[in-house]
Structure formats: C-alpha cells, structure tokens
Copies of this chain bind each other. A is one copy, B any other.
C-alpha cells in the first residue's frame, strides 16, 4: 500500500506477462532473458520474485487455475442437475477457455515428472485434494437431494484419475481423441449407474 504494488501483485504481473510465451513454447526452450524481455523487466528482477524458471510456470498454473475455478464456480452454480455440475468440472479437458491452462499445465506436468520437489508435489496434491473436495460436495448435495445414490461418492477419485489419464494420453499420443465426446460418454455412463432407478 506504500508506493506501488505489492510483491504478490508483481509476481502475478510478471507471470501473466509471460503466459503467451509458455503457451507457445516448451519451458526448456525459453530462456530467462526472453522472459525478462517479455515481461519488460531486468533479468535480475525476476529472481526477486521467482526462485527459478520452473517457479514461473508454477505461478502461472496457480493463477490460471484460480481464474478457471472462479468461472467454474459460477457455472456450477448455474447448472441445474448434479450431472450438469460434474460436467462443468470436466470441461477443463477440452473447452477452448481452458486451452492456455491446459498447455501450461502440460509444461507443469513435465516439470513435475522431471524433477519432483516437495513444493511442486504438495501443490499437485493440494490441487487434487481441493478438486476432490469440491466435487465431493457437489455429489453430496446430489445425494441429499436424492438425485444420485450414496455410492457415487466412492467414484470421485476414479473420475479424476480417469481425467488425468485422458489428459496425458492426449498429450503424448498421436491418437486423435475427441476428448469432449469421450468425457461426456464416460460421465453419462457413470451417471446411468449412479442415478437411482425406480
């Protein structure tokens, strides 16, 4: 609140300034000089806000994910059925809006596999956990409303695992997958089982 912007804000600003760069290129092909140039700051300044290059990708994923979550939250609120709500959730894997996030998350996955450190693994763990909680809550509401059967809750982990699988398969395979189709089929199939028949 002093003269200008907070350290956190600047971190965000720098990261966002490089978004395009990381969307378009592999992080291993991007140099700190390019980043400095793109962000319009000195090379040394980057290190005031980030520990290293990977840290920028990290921040970028965090920012875009938070943004995405806000949008998701809104959509979930507007969705009527539990199935619709869940579907909103899996849109990440194919919708245009999440395209940048997907690209950068792919880089983040690469970094995570390449040199998994505590900070990164904790973040990933946390992410998974939060999303799971969120979907859990949605499901619980569905159960409460009698829309889906209670056993649904046990399937949530599996659904995420499935999502991760399809994401990776798509990234490293030439197989052309219509992810939207695939995901929707999957969810429809699941819900066919989860919905109380009477």
Contacts and interface: CB of A to CB of B under 8 A. Distances in A.
A109 interface: yes
Contacts of A75: none
A174 B125 contact: yes
Contacts of A166: 161, 165
Contacts of A116: 171-172
B28 A115 contact: yes
A112 B110 CA distance: 8
A106 to B, nearest CB: 6
A149 interface: no
Contact of A110 (B114, B163, B173): B114
B115 A26 contact: yes
A107 B172 CA distance: 13
A93 to B, nearest CB: 11
B173 A125 contact: yes
A173 B128 contact: yes
Contact of A165 (B28, B112, B163, B182): B163
A198 to B, nearest CB: 19
A120 B165 contact: no
A113 B175 contact: no
A169 interface: yes
Interface string A67-108: 000000000000000000000000000000000000000110
A164 interface: yes
Interface string A112-137: 11111010111011001100000000
A132 to B, nearest CB: 10
B172 A121 contact: yes
A113 B158 contact: no
A169 B167 CA distance: 12
Contacts of A171: 112-113, 116
Interface in A142-163: 157-158, 160-163
